Amino acid sequence: MLAYLNKQYKLQQFQPAWYSLFINPFYIIRKALFTNIQKLAPHLGGGRLLDFGCGAKPYRSLFEVTEYLGLDMENPGHPHLTEEVDVFYDGKTIPFENNSFDAVLSSEVLEHVFEPESTLREINRVLKPGAMGLFTVPFVWNEHETPYDYGRYSAFGITHLMQKSGFEIVELHRTTHFIETWLQLGILYLYQLLETRNKYINILLTTLFISPFNLLAVVLSKILPRNHSFYFNLVVLVRKMP
């Protein structure tokens, strides 16, 4: 029973249902990110998919593909002890031949890449002509996985970077608007003040002290005017250019 609950709790961290607002201090940002990835996932088709920077493969269930291969690199700021990495690489050369994959997913990875253009060109190399890619990057968030946290991206910055690296933008979405972003940042601050090393105590603290603010953010996001100039993430659907 405990194993099942732990599995469900882990799932709700990245694919939150409505009730996750009672147990997930990052409900606002994760719900918006998941919703946008879920919407665009079918565009990646059903062939061979590379999950670049896969970690625990939190979005694996969204893709119906013939092969789902997770690639990551050893990073002291992000240990992979409980994750599902299929192949590790050296951070420079992806260990596959040209035109090996039909699609690529890379979520919340590029901010940890010091030379993103060269990395994107390497991803481009292993994709087949016309292959689709789905990338997510942060615009607003605190430093994390330090010291391997190198950048944040505006819509214009990621567009320029993708085009320089051999991709064309098919769709681009901002995940949240001003009031959601502002309230989630306040929740992050509060959670970091309360957080302990015990996961179960953290869940209890979230239920008692964080969930009311999650609920407030949901309500205010529905009734206040939307302003998309201040947002958490960009979700970008791209195509490999000929």
Domain boundaries, position 165: 17-240
- Top pLDDT among 20 and 75 is at 20
Q: Is the pLDDT of residue 203 over 80?
A: yes
In a domain, 92, yes or no: yes
Section 88-105 average pLDDT: 96
CATH value at residue 233: 3.40.50.150
- Where does the pLDDT of residue 3 fall: very low under 50, low under 70, confident under 90, or very high at 90 and above? confident
User: What percent of the chain stands above pLDDT 90?
Assistant: 90
In a domain, 233, yes or no: yes
C-alpha span between 240 and 225 (Å, rounded): 37
- Where does the pLDDT of residue 161 fall: very low under 50, low under 70, confident under 90, or very high at 90 and above? very high
The pTM (predicted TM-score) of the whole model is 0.93
In a domain, 90, yes or no: yes
In a domain, 4, yes or no: no
- Where does the pLDDT of residue 76 fall: very low under 50, low under 70, confident under 90, or very high at 90 and above? low
pLDDT of residue 106: 98
In a domain, 201, yes or no: yes
Q: DSSP letters along 26-85, please?
A: THHHHHHHHHHHHHHGGGG-SSEEEEET-TT-TTGGG---SEEEEEE---TTS--TTS--
C-alpha span between 38 and 74 (Å, rounded): 28
Q: Is the pLDDT of residue 42 over 90?
A: yes
Determine the length of the chain.
242
Section 66-73 average pLDDT: 96
Quote the mean pLDDT of the chain.
94
In a domain, 31, yes or no: yes
- Top pLDDT among 78 and 9 is at 9
In a domain, 5, yes or no: no
Section 204-213 average pLDDT: 97
Given a contact cutoff of 8 angstroms between Cβ atoms, the answer to whether 117 and 92 are in contact is no
pLDDT of residue 170: 98
pLDDT in tens, 210-230: 999 999 999 999 999 999 999
In a domain, 1, yes or no: no
Q: Is the pLDDT of residue 59 over 90?
A: yes
Which amino acid belongs to residue 51?
D
Cβ density class 164-186: b for 16+ within 10 Å, e for less: ebbbeeeebbbbbbbbbbebbbe
Section 79-88 average pLDDT: 78
How many domains does the structure of the chain reveal? 1
Q: Is the pLDDT of residue 81 over 80?
A: no
